Amino acid sequence: MSFPSDLEIARAATPKPLLEIAAQMGLGEHLLEPHGSSLAKIRLEAIEELKDRPKAKYVVVTAITPTPLGEGKTTTTVGLGQAMKHIGKRSVIALRQPSMGPTFGIKGGAAGGGYSQVIPMDLLNLHLTGDFHAVTAAHNLLSAMLDNHLHQGNELGRLWAAVTAWKSPVRCRFKRSIGITWL
Protein backbone atom coordinates (compact mmCIF):
# COMPACT_ATOMS: atom_id res chain seq x y z
CA MET A 1 0.00 0.00 0.00
CA SER A 2 1.50 3.34 -0.99
CA PHE A 3 0.82 6.54 0.90
CA PRO A 4 0.12 9.65 -1.20
CA SER A 5 2.75 12.38 -1.25
CA ASP A 6 2.21 15.72 0.49
CA LEU A 7 1.66 17.35 -2.89
CA GLU A 8 -0.92 14.74 -3.93
CA ILE A 9 -2.79 15.21 -0.63
CA ALA A 10 -2.71 19.01 -1.02
CA ARG A 11 -3.96 18.92 -4.61
CA ALA A 12 -6.77 16.49 -3.78
CA ALA A 13 -8.09 18.71 -0.96
CA THR A 14 -10.93 21.14 -1.60
CA PRO A 15 -10.40 24.39 0.30
CA LYS A 16 -13.34 25.92 2.12
CA PRO A 17 -14.42 29.36 0.91
CA LEU A 18 -12.49 32.13 2.67
CA LEU A 19 -15.66 33.86 3.84
CA GLU A 20 -16.80 30.65 5.55
CA ILE A 21 -13.47 30.34 7.36
CA ALA A 22 -13.54 34.02 8.33
CA ALA A 23 -17.09 33.63 9.67
CA GLN A 24 -15.98 30.68 11.84
CA MET A 25 -13.33 33.02 13.29
CA GLY A 26 -15.86 35.80 13.82
CA LEU A 27 -14.32 38.03 11.17
CA GLY A 28 -16.40 40.07 8.78
CA GLU A 29 -15.63 40.24 5.08
CA HIS A 30 -14.54 43.88 5.49
CA LEU A 31 -11.58 42.70 7.60
CA LEU A 32 -10.17 40.50 4.84
CA GLU A 33 -7.67 41.50 2.19
CA PRO A 34 -8.02 38.79 -0.50
CA HIS A 35 -5.02 37.54 -2.45
CA GLY A 36 -6.67 35.42 -5.11
CA SER A 37 -9.43 32.93 -4.37
CA SER A 38 -7.73 30.85 -1.68
CA LEU A 39 -5.56 33.31 0.26
CA ALA A 40 -6.30 36.37 2.38
CA LYS A 41 -4.64 38.56 4.98
CA ILE A 42 -6.50 39.93 7.96
CA ARG A 43 -6.46 43.73 7.92
CA LEU A 44 -4.81 45.59 10.81
CA GLU A 45 -8.15 47.26 11.57
CA ALA A 46 -9.23 43.91 13.03
CA ILE A 47 -7.06 44.57 16.10
CA GLU A 48 -9.07 47.63 17.10
CA GLU A 49 -12.43 46.20 16.05
CA LEU A 50 -11.98 42.94 17.98
CA LYS A 51 -10.19 44.31 21.07
CA ASP A 52 -13.17 43.63 23.37
CA ARG A 53 -13.11 39.89 22.74
CA PRO A 54 -11.86 37.67 25.55
CA LYS A 55 -8.12 37.00 25.47
CA ALA A 56 -7.15 33.69 23.92
CA LYS A 57 -4.67 31.08 25.01
CA TYR A 58 -1.46 31.07 23.01
CA VAL A 59 0.68 28.01 22.22
CA VAL A 60 4.15 28.38 20.70
CA VAL A 61 5.62 25.48 18.74
CA THR A 62 9.39 25.72 18.31
CA ALA A 63 12.50 23.59 17.96
CA ILE A 64 16.27 24.02 18.04
CA THR A 65 17.42 20.80 16.41
CA PRO A 66 17.28 21.35 12.65
CA THR A 67 17.25 18.37 10.33
CA PRO A 68 17.67 18.32 6.56
CA LEU A 69 13.88 18.06 6.20
CA GLY A 70 13.04 20.70 8.80
CA GLU A 71 11.97 20.12 12.40
CA GLY A 72 8.26 19.44 11.88
CA LYS A 73 7.07 22.62 13.60
CA THR A 74 4.46 23.45 10.95
CA THR A 75 3.10 19.89 10.87
CA THR A 76 2.85 19.92 14.68
CA THR A 77 1.17 23.35 14.68
CA VAL A 78 -1.39 22.36 12.02
CA GLY A 79 -2.05 19.06 13.81
CA LEU A 80 -2.66 20.90 17.12
CA GLY A 81 -5.09 23.27 15.41
CA GLN A 82 -6.95 20.34 13.86
CA ALA A 83 -7.04 18.48 17.19
CA MET A 84 -8.45 21.52 19.04
CA LYS A 85 -11.22 21.86 16.46
CA HIS A 86 -11.87 18.12 16.68
CA ILE A 87 -12.55 18.38 20.43
CA GLY A 88 -14.89 21.34 19.92
CA LYS A 89 -12.53 24.26 20.63
CA ARG A 90 -12.25 27.25 18.34
CA SER A 91 -8.65 27.52 17.19
CA VAL A 92 -6.58 29.57 14.79
CA ILE A 93 -3.00 28.90 13.81
CA ALA A 94 -0.47 31.50 12.68
CA LEU A 95 2.50 30.54 10.55
CA ARG A 96 5.39 32.65 9.40
CA GLN A 97 6.33 33.05 5.76
CA PRO A 98 8.60 30.12 4.88
CA SER A 99 12.23 30.44 3.90
CA MET A 100 13.23 29.76 0.34
CA GLY A 101 14.80 26.43 1.36
CA PRO A 102 11.84 24.34 0.14
CA THR A 103 11.92 26.05 -3.24
CA PHE A 104 15.52 25.02 -3.81
CA GLY A 105 15.13 21.50 -2.40
CA ILE A 106 17.31 22.31 0.61
CA LYS A 107 14.73 21.30 3.24
CA GLY A 108 11.17 20.15 3.57
CA GLY A 109 8.24 22.35 2.74
CA ALA A 110 6.97 24.91 5.19
CA ALA A 111 3.33 23.92 4.80
CA GLY A 112 3.35 20.91 7.12
CA GLY A 113 2.99 17.40 5.82
CA GLY A 114 0.61 14.51 5.23
CA TYR A 115 -2.91 15.33 6.34
CA SER A 116 -1.63 18.09 8.68
CA GLN A 117 -0.69 20.72 6.15
CA VAL A 118 -1.76 24.12 4.93
CA ILE A 119 -3.16 24.45 1.42
CA PRO A 120 -2.41 25.71 -1.16
CA MET A 121 1.05 24.41 -0.24
CA ASP A 122 2.67 25.43 -3.52
CA LEU A 123 1.65 29.07 -3.03
CA LEU A 124 2.74 29.03 0.61
CA ASN A 125 6.17 27.77 -0.39
CA LEU A 126 6.44 30.15 -3.36
CA HIS A 127 5.98 33.70 -2.04
CA LEU A 128 2.41 33.53 -0.70
CA THR A 129 1.33 37.19 -0.84
CA GLY A 130 4.60 38.67 -2.09
CA ASP A 131 5.70 40.19 1.22
CA PHE A 132 8.80 38.03 1.47
CA HIS A 133 9.69 38.96 -2.10
CA ALA A 134 9.33 42.66 -1.24
CA VAL A 135 11.73 42.30 1.70
CA THR A 136 14.20 40.42 -0.52
CA ALA A 137 13.96 43.11 -3.22
CA ALA A 138 14.55 45.87 -0.64
CA HIS A 139 17.57 44.01 0.73
CA ASN A 140 18.96 43.55 -2.78
CA LEU A 141 18.45 47.25 -3.55
CA LEU A 142 20.30 48.24 -0.38
CA SER A 143 23.10 45.79 -1.23
CA ALA A 144 23.43 47.24 -4.74
CA MET A 145 23.51 50.81 -3.38
CA LEU A 146 26.21 49.88 -0.89
CA ASP A 147 28.26 48.02 -3.50
CA ASN A 148 28.02 51.07 -5.79
CA HIS A 149 29.10 53.35 -2.94
CA LEU A 150 32.17 51.17 -2.35
CA HIS A 151 32.91 51.03 -6.08
CA GLN A 152 32.72 54.83 -6.32
CA GLY A 153 35.37 55.23 -3.61
CA ASN A 154 33.56 55.09 -0.25
CA GLU A 155 33.29 58.86 0.11
CA LEU A 156 32.06 58.53 3.70
CA GLY A 157 35.38 57.04 4.75
CA ARG A 158 33.82 54.17 6.62
CA LEU A 159 30.60 52.23 6.49
CA TRP A 160 28.08 52.01 9.28
CA ALA A 161 27.86 48.52 10.79
CA ALA A 162 24.06 48.67 10.85
CA VAL A 163 23.99 49.05 7.08
CA THR A 164 26.59 46.38 6.33
CA ALA A 165 25.29 43.61 8.51
CA TRP A 166 25.51 40.87 5.90
CA LYS A 167 27.52 37.85 6.95
CA SER A 168 27.78 35.75 3.80
CA PRO A 169 31.27 34.29 3.22
CA VAL A 170 31.53 36.00 -0.18
CA ARG A 171 30.68 39.43 1.29
CA CYS A 172 33.08 38.94 4.22
CA ARG A 173 35.94 37.96 1.86
CA PHE A 174 35.13 40.96 -0.36
CA LYS A 175 35.14 43.34 2.62
CA ARG A 176 38.46 41.96 3.87
CA SER A 177 39.92 42.28 0.37
CA ILE A 178 39.20 46.04 0.33
CA GLY A 179 40.37 46.58 3.89
CA ILE A 180 37.11 46.50 5.85
CA THR A 181 37.93 44.38 8.88
CA TRP A 182 36.15 46.24 11.69
CA LEU A 183 32.73 44.68 11.06
What is the per-residue pLDDT across 57-72, written as a single tens digit (0 to 9) for each?
888 887 776 666 666 7
Confidence of residue 183 (pLDDT cuts 50, 70, 90): very low
In terms of DSSP bridges, do strands 40-42 and 116-117 run parallel, antiparallel, or are they unpaired? unpaired
Burial letters for 80-117: b for 16+ Cβ neighbours within 10 Å, e otherwise? ebeebeeeeeebebebebbebebeeeebbbbbbbeebb
What is the per-residue pLDDT across 111-159, written as a single tens digit (0 to 9) for each?
777 777 777 776 766 666 666 677 778 888 888 887 787 777 777 665 5
Nearest to 37 by CA among 14, 4, 56, 67: 14
54 pLDDT above the threshold of 90:
no
pTM exceeding 0.85:
no
